[in-house]
């Protein structure tokens, strides 16, 4: 087993938690990457996710290449489509949008990515991606032309996560969408956590320590923060991670 997923499992076994920061290469264009990375190094960031629903082709490759020269934090691709694949990263969340009914994001994008993945040395981590209504139409929803599952429909969310696990996914990602108005409710996180035995990622609309703590306490193994960090590069210093992550 390669090291990124192995480490996630190790941390989960110890009942500790991981923080992932999502960097969108398009949104960060024009910002100093050195400055961004130094903010990440000042804080207990465990993983850097790189991706976005729409990123100009070629941008991710040079962004990740630069990033890898500045940090030893593992870089994990979280691609909006197959054009965002680059061998400069350490691993890729090989996503299948299980909440949607659009074959393009269930299997077609995955087929399109095979050529580059076969040539790469990326660690491939099969991930069941579940879009949950975050109170506004998010970029994932628009791009994938799929509907999120309502936060009221806890049963369907749990069943989707369990079906993903039965299909062999190694991670389940509960996504309220970048910039969501409402993050994934703690009851949903707790129910999904109770029903799966693979690590759980939660993201979308998480901007405060209370949100972060709530997600961890209810069973998230990895919490992803994107917008919150983009808007306020000092946000992480407000997260007293050491206290809440173990």
Tokens of 135: 């109170």
Tokens of 145: 């032309």
Residue 52 CB, nearest distance to ligand 1GP (Å)? 8
In terms of CB distance, is 123 or 230 closer to ligand 1GP? 230
In terms of CB distance, is 51 or 74 closer to ligand 1GP? 51
Q: What are phi and psi of 93, to 5 degrees?
A: -80, 110
Residue 236 CB, nearest distance to ligand 1GP (Å)? 12
Q: From the centroid of its chain, how far is CA 45?
A: 13
For the stretch 185-203, what's the b/e string if a residue is b when 16 or more beta carbons lie within 10 angstroms of its beta carbon?
bbebbbbbbeebebbbbbb
In terms of CB distance, is 44 or 179 closer to ligand 1GP? 179
Residue 146 CB, nearest distance to ligand 1GP (Å)? 14
Note the residues at the interface with ligand 1GP (CB under 6 A): 22, 175, 178-180, 203-206, 224-228
Nearest to 87 by CA among 121, 52, 113: 121
In terms of CB distance, is 69 or 208 closer to ligand 1GP? 208
């Amino acid at each position: 087993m390669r090291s990124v997923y192995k480490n996630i499992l190790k941390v989960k076994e110890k009942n500790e938690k991981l923080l992932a920061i999502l960097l969108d290469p398009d949104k960060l264009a024009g910002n100093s990457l050195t400055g961004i990375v130094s903010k990440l190094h000042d804080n207990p960031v465990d993983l850097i996710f790189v991706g976005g629903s729409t990123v100009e082709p070629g941008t991710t490759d040079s962004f990740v290449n630069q990033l890898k020269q500045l940090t030893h934090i593992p870089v994990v691709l979280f691609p909006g489509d197959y054009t965002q694949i680059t061998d400069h990263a350490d691993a890729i969340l090989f996503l299948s949008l299980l909440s949607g009914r659009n074959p393009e994001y269930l299997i077609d994008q995955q087929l399109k990515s095979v050529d580059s993945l076969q040539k790469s040395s990326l660690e491939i981590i099969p991930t069941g991606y579940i879009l949950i209504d975050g109170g506004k139409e998010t970029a994932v929803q628009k791009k994938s032309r799929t509907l999120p599952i309502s936060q009221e429909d806890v049963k369907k969310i749990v069943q989707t996560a369990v079906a993903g696990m039965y299909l062999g996914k190694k991670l389940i990602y509960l996504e309220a969408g970048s910039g969501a108005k409402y993050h994934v409710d703690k009851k949903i996180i707790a129910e999904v956590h109770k029903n799966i035995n693979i690590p759980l990622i939660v993201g979308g609309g998480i901007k405060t320590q209370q949100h972060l703590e709530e997600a961890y306490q209810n069973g998230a193994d990895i919490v992803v923060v994107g917008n919150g960090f983009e808007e306020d590069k000092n946000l992480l210093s407000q997260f007293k991670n050491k206290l809440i992550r173990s």
